[in-house]
Amino acid sequence: MAIQRDFKGNSLLIATDDYVVVDLETTGISPARDRIIEIGAVRVEHGTVTAEYSKLVNPGRPVGGFITGLTGISDEMVGNASPIEAVLPDFLAHLRPSDTIVAHNANFDINFLYDNCMRTLGKPFSYDFIDTLRLSRALFPQERQHRLVDLIQRFGIADEEEHRGLSDALQTVECYERMKPLLAGL
């Protein structure tokens, strides 16, 4: 059964020069059961990166071997980090009410942010968002794979995805910038 997320932002298929790319690393795939361990974000204004945000988050539980192997984020790294109750308000203070969020597989990141905002702050995460995964599927229907690693390889940005918040956010900026000119054809 799908979780109802009232006041969640809208998914957009648009080209914009002003946006914030967000990438989260988490202890797993379920916003209800798993926890955020890193928030990475990049502000883009007029097509240029103007600010970066990166914070590790103490999940209050072990990270797990699979996630450490994937991201390189260990229990030792997050052990002295602030909990989500402190990091989330700090992150939100860097956002403007009019911001559009960009993310790869955006529903993953947006749902984690939404559920954490509801759980810790009692209010929804209501920003409209652009999903580069959705854009890739619309723009490149002939391609089988649309993961971030597939996009960065397709566009010649890098050979591998780092699975870290800030670096993945920066790679997503590059992917989105390469897809924007193609959106007129949709």
Tell me the C-alpha to C-alpha distance, in Å, between residue 96 and each of 1, 30, 110.
33, 27, 16
Smallest CA-to-CA distance from 172 within 114, 143, 133, 145 is with 133
Tell me the C-alpha to C-alpha distance, in Å, between residue 143 and each of 38, 140, 151.
30, 6, 10
Rounded to whole angstroms, the Cα distance separating 139 from 61 reads 40
Q: Does the active-site annotation cover 94?
A: no
Among 46, 94, 146, 163, the active-site one is 163
Active site positions, annotated: 163
